[in-house]
Amino acid sequence: MKKSWKKDEGVSPVIATILMVAITVVLAAVLYVMVMIYIPHQEPLLTGNLDYITDKSSPSSGKAVFLLTLGTSGNIATDEAKVVIMDGTAIVPQGSGTWVNWTHIVSGNATIKTGDWLVIEAPGKDLGGCTIILSVNGYTGTVNGKVAG
Query: Which has the closest alpha carbon to 148: 49, 48, 55, 59?
Result: 59
How many angstroms separate the CA atoms of 32 and 70, rounded? 35
pTM, two decimal places: 0.63
Give the pLDDT score at 58: 87
Domain boundaries defined on the chain: 11-40, 48-146
* Amino acid identity for residue 55 in this structure: D
pLDDT digits (tens, 9 = 90+) for 39-89: 877 788 888 888 998 888 888 888 888 888 888 776 788 778 888 888 765
Domain 48-146 grouped into CATH 2.60.40? yes
Q: Left (φ > 0), alpha (ψ -120 to 50) or beta: where does 41 sit?
A: beta
DSSP-derived pairing of the beta strands 131-136 and 81-86? antiparallel
Q: Residue 51 in contact with residue 65, Cβ under 8 Å? A: no
d(CA 79, CA 95): 22
55: DSSP letter? G
